[in-house]
Amino acid sequence: MNKSKILVPLGKKSYEVTIEAGIRKKISEELFKIGVKNNRKILVISNKEISDLYIEEFLKNLKDNNYQVQIFLIKSGELHKNLETLSEIYNFAFEFGLDRNSLIIALGGGIVGDITGLAAATWLRGIEYIQIPTTLLSMVDSSVGGKTAVNHPKGKNLIGAFHQPKAVFIDPETLKTLPKREFNAGMAEVIKYGVIKDKELFEFLENEKNKNKIINLENEYLIKIINSSIKTKSHIVSKDEQEHGIRAILNYGHSFGHVIENLCGYGEFLHGEAISIGMKIAGKIALEKGLWSNEEFIRQDNIITSYSLPNKIPKINKKEVITILMGDKKVRDGKMRFILPKGIGEVDIYDDIVESLFLKYFS
């Protein structure tokens, strides 16, 4: 597979995700294909690290094709995914004269994508935007599905909107410059798709030969796993765009993942690393409830470690675990609500989990 297209079917809001090596270099051609003519202003949002690597040829391609384009760089890091940065984007958009017919492009990881999406959702009550994700996590997760957000001092992603992109362009070649640890963290979400809905993907990832090709960033293999991941995400999002039901299964491993991110301090574990440990805990609960076999639990554990992801539960206090879970609204009438595996490729939502089933894993 050296190119793939996936439709995200959402009625009038439907869009395509195109995965192709080198697509970033021919962005004008792609924009033309989706009907973005060069009389429209384009605001590209990125950060310094990414723009140092990719912006020059990206802008050249747009300018050579007579697009009126300007770039705004946001400060890197979760700390700057906030209202202040959003406000700076609005100021820049005003100066540039961004109108209802203009377009915003997010070139970067999940942070750039989330804040750009929210800027596009709110500027002039909503204008079109395009996602060009450059981390594995943003390729397989945040760029598709239309969740946009910034953080509030009281919590992550508290201010946001659902706003679907007009298109998503994914260039797996950009993963070559991504720090290895960030790549592995993205693999946690890919593994997640395998466990929740795609046994074939799970088995593909387990295969030693495939694993080596993936780790060596061979385009064909990257396209295969990104394509499978997005297919699952697209399928689930199209059934439940605003997470009233089934979309919650995408949060497999995330309840305990959030606990770990919160209690170990953001920074000790990357999101994907915390999710790996979260999947391990969910796997253990499922094992005890007899939902899946020991063999399946071990397969999940092995795959997590084989992609250099952590699976050891850090020392955290039981009481604090409960406090975070309560804050996450995972508790209803004293019972906890979790997504648990019923086998490789199948999960369900359980809202009858008693504390004793998981508190023993904490100190």
Ligand X SMILES: NC(=O)c1ccc[n+]([C@@H]2O[C@H](COP(=O)([O-])OP(=O)(O)OC[C@H]3O[C@@H](n4cnc5c(N)ncnc54)[C@H](O)[C@@H]3O)[C@@H](O)[C@H]2O)c1
Q: Which residues bind ligand X (CB under 6 A)?
A: 47, 49-50, 53, 76, 78, 81, 108-112, 114, 134-135, 137-138, 141-142, 145, 147, 156-157, 174, 177-178, 182, 271
The H-or-E segment that residue 200 falls in is helix 199-206
Q: Is 152 a catalytic residue?
A: no
Q: Is 280 a catalytic residue?
A: no
Q: Is 337 a catalytic residue?
A: no
Q: Is 100 a catalytic residue?
A: no
Q: Is 66 a catalytic residue?
A: no
Least gap, CB of 99 to ligand X (angstroms): 26
The H-or-E segment that residue 8 falls in is strand 3-8
Angle at the Cα of 200 (from 196 to 205), degrees rounded to 5? Answer: 90
Q: How far apart are CA 49 and CA 76, in angstroms?
A: 8
Residues 6+ apart with CB under 8 A from 234: 6, 7, 8, 9, 17, 144
Cβ-count burial of 36 within 10 angstroms (0-12 exposed, 13-18 middle, 19+ buried)? buried
Q: Is 311 a catalytic residue?
A: no
Least gap, CB of 334 to ligand X (angstroms): 29
Considering beta carbons, is residue 162 or 361 the nearer one to ligand X?
162
Considering beta carbons, is residue 271 or 280 the nearer one to ligand X?
271
Q: Is 125 a catalytic residue?
A: yes
Least gap, CB of 160 to ligand X (angstroms): 8
Considering beta carbons, is residue 50 or 190 the nearer one to ligand X?
50
Q: Is 247 a catalytic residue?
A: yes
Sign of torsion over alpha carbons 98, 101, 102, 108: positive
Q: How far apart are CA 163 and CA 182, in angstroms?
A: 26
Least gap, CB of 72 to ligand X (angstroms): 15
- CB distance 214 to 360 below 8 Å: no
Q: Which residue is nearest to ligand X (CB)?
A: 110
Considering beta carbons, is residue 109 or 253 the nearer one to ligand X?
109
Question: Of these residues, 258, 280, 299, 330, which one is catalytic?
Answer: 258
Closest CA to 87 of 46, 123, 111: 123
Active-site residue set: 125, 147, 189, 233, 243, 247, 251, 254, 258, 271
